[in-house]
Structure 1
Amino acid sequence: MNSELLIVIPAYNEQDNIENVVEYIIGNYPQYDYVVVNDGSKDRTAEICRANGYELLDLPVNLGLAGAFQAGLKYAYTKGYSYAIQFDADGQHRPEFIQAMLNRIKEGYDIVIGSRFLNVRKDKSARMIGSRMITVAIKLTTGIRVSDPTSGMRMFSREMIKEFAQNLNYGPEPDTVSYLLKNGAKISEVQVKMEERQFGESYLNILGSARYMIRMLVSIILVQNFRKRNK
């Protein structure tokens, strides 16, 4: 372990992106440790990682983002990292913003979100309307405004790493953020910029995005009231 921070990179069928993403981190940000969590990919993602000697957790089956990220957080917890950041394998997240997020979380926060909309207005697309609705739902249920609740660039403190590592029902989604806020977690946001996906297609198409937004809203407003917390 060379760093207090671990970059967790869940990857499913990212053979066209993973090498560029990891090599950029290695070449430009060697102060951070990283691990690729291959989520049972059916393409050459794991093969490319092994050939290049990347730090790799190779899951034998596809667990989905929640399972893959949790595997990465278990790794971070076992290795003793103080902080961990969720980082996309498709080239959208930019590592130059990690230090600002790390500085912020050290001020005493449990979660820091890399926000696209802290100082930038959302457009009027259907996806952004859904994001606004999730922001409102979190505000209504927790009293806290999160400007970019669907951002996948999230940093967690050691205490939050432990929560994810030891609770099987935790996924890195807006409803979990809402739940953690209800349980006393302190959250902040840092303005970031993100790129478009470099290659391949996102699993969230128009229909998938609509279903995701509806599921998050129902979960935040209703389901989280009944969620059990393991001790």
Structure 2
Amino acid sequence: MKIAAVIPAYNEELTLPGVLEPVMQCDELSQVIVVSDGSTDRTAEIAREMGAELIVLPYNQGKGAAVMAGVAATSAEIILLLDADLVGLTPVHITALLSPVIKEEAMMAIGVFTEGRISTDLSQQVAPVLNGQRAVRRELLMSLPDLDHTKYGIEVVLTRYARTHHCKVVRVPLPKLTQVMKEEKLGFYRGFKARLRMYWQIIKVLVATKTL
């Protein structure tokens, strides 16, 4: 069974090495694909240096487009989706996330941060559907039209579709895993604006796709 990791990344030169290192150690993965979504830093260069397959989008098109560009570049039956700003990722996390889908116990596994930082753990408990750490059967991803237009709404659209169509979805605890928050990357003001923009994108996509 072919399994591919798809990692969308926008200006993540500081955290990408810490994500790619454990990913490249995983024997379960046949491919590791990084999609640089219009990055202007060393994201693409780092991905190439660390041995990942690289897709470079010429300008920032949003998370949905970056994810689907990676999916289009592989024929893998299972897609592992990981954010590029994770902190504390290990091969154990990856194996745990993949296991229910490999064993055909679920069509999609969603990771949930636990035992890490209060800020990220709390957000996961409140809205786990926003988590970008997932293992997904290819046919589920390909069942949805226009996922490449969903931007930050890709996770909630995917989760809602799976539940509406009675596809088994499980949550997988990911202890000690966290990620860098937007306010930490960009400063409080710019980060808060970016967070509001993300939520607005999610709301718009949910309204636009409510009939799926």
TM-score bracket relative to the smaller structure: 0.7 to 0.9
Distance 1:196 1:164, change over 3 A: same
Query: Is 1:48 matched with 2:46?
Result: yes
Give the whole-Å Cα distance in 2 for the aligned partners of 1:165 and 1:226: 12
Give the whole-Å Cα distance in 1 for the aligned partners of 2:42 and 2:94: 28
Q: Which has the larger radius of gyration?
A: 1
Query: Is 1:91 matched with 2:73?
Result: no
Give the whole-Å Cα distance in 2 for the aligned partners of 1:196 and 1:129: 11
Give the whole-Å Cα distance in 1 for the aligned partners of 2:197 and 2:96: 33
User: SS in structure 2 opposite 1:48?
Assistant: helix
Select which of 96, 103, 114 maps to 2:99: 103
Give the whole-Å Cα distance in 2 for the aligned partners of 1:101 and 1:44: 28
User: SS in structure 2 opposite 1:205?
Assistant: helix
Give the whole-Å Cα distance in 1 for the aligned partners of 2:139 and 2:88: 24
Aligned to 2:142: 162
Q: TM-score, normalised by structure 1?
A: 0.70
Please, which runs of 5 or more residues in structure 2 have no aligned partner? none
1:8 touches 1:37 (CA, 8 Å); kept in 2? yes
1:181-200 equivalences in 2 (<5 Å): 181-193=163-175, 194-197=177-180
Give the whole-Å Cα distance in 1 for the aligned partners of 2:42 and 2:9: 11
User: SS in structure 1 opposite 2:130?
Assistant: coil
Aligned to 1:179: 161
Distance 1:216 1:11, change over 3 A: closer
Corresponding residue pairs, total: 202
Please, which runs of 5 or more residues in structure 1 have no aligned partner? 135-147
Q: TM-score, normalised by structure 2?
A: 0.76
Aligned to 2:210: 225
1:71 touches 1:165 (CA, 8 Å); kept in 2? no
Select which of 130, 134, 147 maps to 1:150: 130
RMSD: 3.5
1:16-55 equivalences in 2 (<5 Å): 16-26=14-24, 28-32=25-29, 33-55=31-53
In the TM superposition, residue 131 of structure 1 has moved relative to its aligned partner by 6.4
1:15 touches 1:48 (CA, 8 Å); kept in 2? yes
Distance 1:169 1:93, change over 3 A: farther
Give the whole-Å Cα distance in 1 for the aligned partners of 2:160 and 2:181: 30
Distance 1:208 1:198, change over 3 A: closer
User: SS in structure 2 opposite 1:57?
Assistant: strand
